[in-house]
Amino acid sequence: MKEALRGLIETKSKLQKTHDLYELGAGIGLPEELLGRCEGLTLAYIETRYPDQYVKYEREDAERDFAIAEEVLKWVSERIS
């Protein structure tokens, strides 16, 4: 999802170097509803990418975050198609 957001940013402006999905989404005009959901995804993304300490990630959390990512990817896809 991060790469899709970055890809849309590249087509509209200068690429931002960040892992913050909220910041990336704000940079491309992601609707507020989806932007708020990106904050939680950023935490999950960082926790699973940089596991300095064990964080238990429940199945329902993964399913929720996956559904949010799909919504954001759909929104991005509609803008670059």
pLDDT value at position 12?
55
Q: What is the pLDDT of residues 6-63, one digit of tens each?
A: 666 655 555 567 778 888 888 889 999 999 998 888 888 777 777 676 777 889 999 9
Would you kindly state where each structural domain of the chain is located, as residue ranges? 2-80
pLDDT value at position 27?
84
pLDDT value at position 39?
86
CB contact at 8 A, 6 and 19: no
d(CA 29, CA 65): 20
DSSP structure string for 7-48: HHHHHHSPPP----HHHHHHHTT--HHHHHHHHHHHHHHHHH
